[in-house]
């Protein structure tokens, strides 16, 4: 029974490996006389390589806006676990059915106007950390993937209808620019040595004025983009 448990643990470790190649796991609670060595066998490496990404996604934030995002990324890993990336995203959005419903119901009962922000674009840079990688056995084919996390700063441009909401009359949108906190969580699936597919959740947190006529304060807003991209490494 004890040997079977060790085999099961070793198998699970092969599915998701998150240790350095020289690491040793000491399962003293299992058997003081035995050690379990984790074999990385990393097939694809990022160390010392540049990459280019082109992707498309949707914006998952904003109750009154439907939006899409076209993204371009360029990055470099100076270590297997550490790198940097520059990102540019061009977004396009418009009011959705929820916003139209608010306007329609409001026209009969007091002129309700939904407050919304539509992100036009953002650009920024991040430090990347990639501590984990996985091997997935699917239909007798092993798929190699890396988990990638990023943190940095971004400049975001958006338009909003704050004047319309405050004054309760039709007016032109305001165009504003903000500096925000940028973070990213992604999974990179390798097709071969050069090509891969990435799935990324990219978020920008920024401060902007709320839609109030008196003493408006800067509060935090967030833009979440979920995108799939094709990546080429060099």
Q: Is the pLDDT of residue 96 over 80?
A: yes
Select from 23, 8, 28, 36 the least CA-distant residue to 132: 23
Specify the pTM. Answer: 0.81
Contacts (Cβ under 8 Å, ≥6 apart) of 183 = 126, 149, 150, 151, 152, 202, 203, 205
Which tens digit of pLDDT belongs to each residue from 184-233? 999 999 999 999 999 999 999 999 999 988 889 999 999 999 999 999 99
Instruction: Compute and round to an integer the Cα radius of gyration of the chain.
Output: 24
Please, are residues 93 and 119 in contact by the beta-carbon 8 Å criterion?
Answer: yes
Which tens digit of pLDDT belongs to each residue from 28-37? 555 555 555 5
Mean pLDDT within 22-51: 66
- pLDDT category of residue 56 using cuts at 50, 70 and 90: very high
pLDDT of residue 199: 98
Mean pLDDT, the chain, integer? 86
H helix intervals, the chain: 2-15, 97-109, 162-167
Distance of alpha carbon 193 from its chain centroid, rounded?
23
Alpha-carbon distance 126 to 73, whole Å?
Answer: 11
Mean pLDDT within 42-53: 93
pLDDT of residue 88: 98
pLDDT of residue 11: 45
Burial status of residue 217 (CB atoms within 10 A of its CB: 0-12, 13-18, 19 or more): exposed
Q: Is the pLDDT of residue 234 over 70?
A: yes
pLDDT of residue 102: 87
The token pair at 23 is 């690491």
In which element (H, E) is residue 160 found?
strand 141-160
pLDDT of residue 186: 97
Which tens digit of pLDDT belongs to each residue from 105-138? 755 555 588 999 999 999 999 999 999 988 888 8
Q: Is the pLDDT of residue 15 over 70?
A: no
Residue given tokens 């407050």 in the structure block: 115
3-state class of 209 per DSSP?
Answer: strand
pLDDT of residue 41: 65
Q: Give the 3-state secondary structure percentages of the chain, helix then strand then coil, rounded to 5.
A: 15, 55, 30
Contacts (Cβ under 8 Å, ≥6 apart) of 178 = 155, 156, 158, 206, 207, 208
């Amino acid at each position: 029974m004890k040997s079977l448990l060790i085999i099961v643990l070793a198998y699970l470790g092969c599915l998701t490996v998150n240790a350095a190649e020289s690491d040793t796991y000491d399962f003293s609670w299992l058997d003081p006389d035995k050690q379990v060595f984790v074999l990385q066998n990393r097939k694809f490496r990022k160390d010392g390589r540049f990459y280019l990404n082109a992707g498309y996604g949707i914006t998952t934030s904003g109750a009154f806006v439907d939006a899409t995002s076209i993204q371009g990324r360029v990055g470099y890993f100076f270590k297997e676990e550490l790198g940097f990336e520059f990102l540019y995203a061009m977004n396009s959005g418009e009011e959705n059915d929820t916003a139209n419903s608010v306007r329609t119901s409001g026209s009969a009962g007091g002129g309700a106007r939904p407050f919304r922000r539509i992100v036009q674009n953002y650009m920024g840079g991040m430090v990347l950390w990639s501590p984990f990688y996985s091997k997935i056995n699917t239909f007798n084919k092993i798929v190699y993937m890396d988990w990638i996390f990023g943190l940095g700063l971004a400049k975001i441009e958006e338009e909003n209808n704050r004047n319309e909401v405050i004054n309760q009359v039709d007016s032109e949108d305001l165009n504003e620019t903000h500096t925000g906190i940028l973070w990213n969580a992604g999974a990179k699936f390798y097709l071969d040595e050069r090509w891969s597919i990435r799935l990324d959740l990219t978020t920008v947190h920024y401060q902007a004025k709320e839609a109030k006529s008196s003493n408006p304060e800067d509060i935090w807003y967030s833009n979440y983009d979920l995108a799939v991209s094709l990546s080429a490494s060099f």
